[in-house]
A and B are shown apart, each in its own frame.
Chain A
Amino acid sequence: MTQHPSPGTGDLHNDAPPRAVVLSADRLVKRFGSLRALDTVSFHVRDGEAVGVVGPNGAGKTTLFAALAGTFPVNEGRISFGGQAITHASAETRNALGLARTYQVPRPFLGMTVFENVLVAAQAGGGAGQAEARDLAADVLARTGLMPLANVPAAATGLLDRKRLEVARAIATRPRVILLDEIGGGLTEAELVKLIALIDSLKAAGLTIVWIEHILHALLKVVTRLVCMAEGRVLAEGDPQEVMKDPSVRRAYLGSDPE
């Protein structure tokens, strides 16, 4: 199914047979003018996995997410989700199939309350009817710790709560896979602990997670597999510890030569 060295099986704690690939990107190319932001990137995620994506700024991580989520079309390559080709599907179709994303810089609907932000996601992406959507939204608010802010305008919330709202809105669409883009960035250490607990709870609930993060210690607490990108390519992937030891990763990402 895939030629990659250790998709999903790098998890030492998981002796169960590898599960099906749910999200698969095959040789993606995305050009911005003369820049190849994605240069033949292949990327596969198995059901129930928690995959970390690291790499220096400009490596193409967010571009990869945008391509997967359908923010813009790719120039070459194929994307499939749950066995279905989605290369040309719109963002809302991909969400309806079960692929949700969060934004690096939170993009709440600023003219709406926290509850309304989540409610619209529950109705649109979650496909829930009126009463069901209220329950779903309230449940998500409780899980993400946002219930006390339910009726507060999103514009009046701070960074941690906006990051939580990104997660809340995404999970209210009832996804199979969630793409988290630097959800820990800009938070204090104490805030980060709360956020990691939230992401851990999502993982425990069976959600498949793909997480871009610069804060390695946070990422390594959660992920079972790591992908390192640089200059629009996948440098290495596999067991997190192994990937971090890889000489090419250390050169590209940590800026130090391995001695």
Chain B
Amino acid sequence: MSHTHVLAAVSRLDKVLIGLGAALAGLLLALPLFGSPLIVDKLTLLMIYIILAVSWNLLAGFAGLVSVGQQAFIGLAGYFVLRLAEAGMAPFPALIAGAVVVLLVAWPLSWFVLRLKAAEFAVAMWVLAEAIRSVIMFDPLVQGETGRSLVTLNAIDADLRRTAIYLMAVASAILVLAVSYRLLRGRLGGESQAIRDDEEAAGSVGVSTMRVKRTIFLISALGCAIAGTLWLASAITYQPRAAFGINWSVFMLFMVLVGGLGSFLGPVLGALLLFALQEAFGDFGAWYLTGIGCVAMLFALYAPRGIIGLITDRLGREPLSMRKELDVRSERRGR
């Protein structure tokens, strides 16, 4: 049987954007050759923000699972890296393994939290994050409030270390973006959106709701865990209160809601905005947090679909939309 029905071709704009993205990725990977250490450090942070925003958007924007406890995986990843390094693993392998080990915690957790609905899920995730932090603070290795440094990583030459962590961050961001693009364009994208819109109806058309939610939950947890290890790698010191801080959830919410919930490009734009705001106003301390709150409020009131919504209204279509469009012209030819 020949397949006559096709999806509409990728638009010119999207092709240009993907090309630009690829060029930008190449530029970012080459940056350590000519960029100053300060720029490299700052861009590492930007990559961490992008990874976090994309991961949170997968969960909330596509599967409808709003969590304010993803810092559980950020904090846990850092902790596992410390533990693995303490057990004798070399620092860079520990950074990768630490993130993967988080899945061993996220998987059993998913059986419990994914049975909860909406607000219960959101709050349960926060409670879990706090509970896990409390437990970890009992570990003598972490020394409670004091925290601990990843000493073996600190022993590596500063320039080499900076470049390596930066490259890991860029590679991870590219990976997270590419994986989520593939998944959302495929079957999982449609299934997760169906669950977001109406979980019972999704089940009635054969969507294995638990399996889909668990898959998205685990991918998102892994994304946050990668961000967590990268953050530990660039900060060197691990303090449970910071690693499990609710700030992370505030940032993720800000980036995704301001960028555009449930869009592909929105979280990236939101991460850029948060990064820019921190660069511009970070010196004002607490006032800058107030400013971020005001920006979020203005968006909620006047541009609820975020930056991507403003762009979509102007262009008439969403750039890099995950929408699957049936090519109705080929439809007529085919019949």
Binding site for B on A (CB under 8 A): 69-71, 90-92, 95-96, 100-101, 103, 107-113, 115-117, 119-121, 123-127, 130-135, 137-138, 141, 147, 150-151, 169-170, 172-173
A126 to B207, CA, bound (A): 10
Which of the residues B197, B324, B328, B331 comes within 8 Å of A119, measured between beta carbons? Answer: B324
Q: With A124-B205, A131-B3, A150-B326 known to touch, is A91 a contact of B194 (CB < 8 Å)?
A: no
Shortest Cβ distance from residue A107 to the other chain B in the assembled complex, whole angstroms: 4
A69 to B206, CA, bound (A): 11
Minimum-distance CB pairs A-B, first 8: A125-B206, A120-B190, A109-B197, A121-B205, A138-B5, A95-B206, A91-B203, A124-B206
Contacts of A69 on B, CB cut-off 8 Å? 204
* B262 proximal to A (CB < 8 A): yes
Contacts of B130 on A, CB cut-off 8 Å? none
Most chain A CB neighbours (cut-off 10 Å) among B191, B207, B326? B326
* B145 proximal to A (CB < 8 A): no
* B42 proximal to A (CB < 8 A): no
Contacts of A131 on B, CB cut-off 8 Å? 3
A108 to B3, CA, bound (A): 26
B5 touches A110 (CB 8 A): no
How many chain B residues touch A (Cβ–Cβ < 8 Å)?
Answer: 33
Shortest Cβ distance from residue B12 to the other chain A in the assembled complex, whole angstroms: 18
Shortest Cβ distance from residue A201 to the other chain B in the assembled complex, whole angstroms: 18
* B208 proximal to A (CB < 8 A): yes
Contacts of B1 on A, CB cut-off 8 Å? 132, 135
A169 to B198, CA, bound (A): 13
Binding site for A on B (CB under 8 A): 1, 3-8, 186-187, 190-191, 193-194, 196-198, 200-209, 262, 323-326, 328, 331
Shortest Cβ distance from residue B89 to the other chain A in the assembled complex, whole angstroms: 40
Among residues of A, the one whose C-beta sits closest to the C-beta of B6 is A134
Among residues of B, the one whose C-beta sits closest to the C-beta of A117 is B194
Q: With A92-B207, A120-B190, A130-B186 known to touch, is A109 a contact of B202 (CB < 8 Å)?
A: yes
A124 touches B208 (CB 8 A): yes
Shortest Cβ distance from residue A5 to the other chain B in the assembled complex, whole angstroms: 31
A90 to B207, CA, bound (A): 11
A115 touches B326 (CB 8 A): yes
5 new A-B pairs (CB below 8 Å) besides A100-B205, A121-B205, A170-B205? A92-B208, A103-B204, A121-B206, A135-B1, A151-B326
11 A-B residue pairs with Cβ-Cβ distance under 8 Å, sorted by A, are A71-B200, A109-B193, A109-B197, A117-B194, A121-B206, A124-B190, A125-B206, A134-B5, A138-B4, A150-B326, A173-B206
A120 touches B7 (CB 8 A): no
Contacts of B203 on A, CB cut-off 8 Å? 70, 90-92, 95
A135 to B3, CA, bound (A): 6
Among residues of A, the one whose C-beta sits closest to the C-beta of B5 is A138
Q: With A96-B206, A115-B325, A147-B331 known to touch, is A107 a contact of B193 (CB < 8 Å)?
A: no
Majority DSSP secondary structure for residues of A touching B: helix
Contacts of B197 on A, CB cut-off 8 Å? 108-112
A123 touches B190 (CB 8 A): yes
A110 to B207, CA, bound (A): 16
A92 touches B206 (CB 8 A): yes
A92 to B331, CA, bound (A): 30
Shortest Cβ distance from residue B38 to the other chain A in the assembled complex, whole angstroms: 42
Contacts of B7 on A, CB cut-off 8 Å? 134
A111 touches B205 (CB 8 A): no
A124 to B1, CA, bound (A): 21
A96 to B8, CA, bound (A): 29
Contacts of B204 on A, CB cut-off 8 Å? 69, 71, 91-92, 95, 100-101, 103
B207 touches A124 (CB 8 A): yes
Shortest Cβ distance from residue B236 to the other chain A in the assembled complex, whole angstroms: 42
Q: With A91-B200, A95-B204, A109-B202 known to touch, is A120 a contact of B194 (CB < 8 Å)?
A: yes
Most chain A CB neighbours (cut-off 10 Å) among B1, B205, B324? B205
A112 touches B187 (CB 8 A): no
Contacts of A100 on B, CB cut-off 8 Å? 204-205
A100 to B201, CA, bound (A): 11
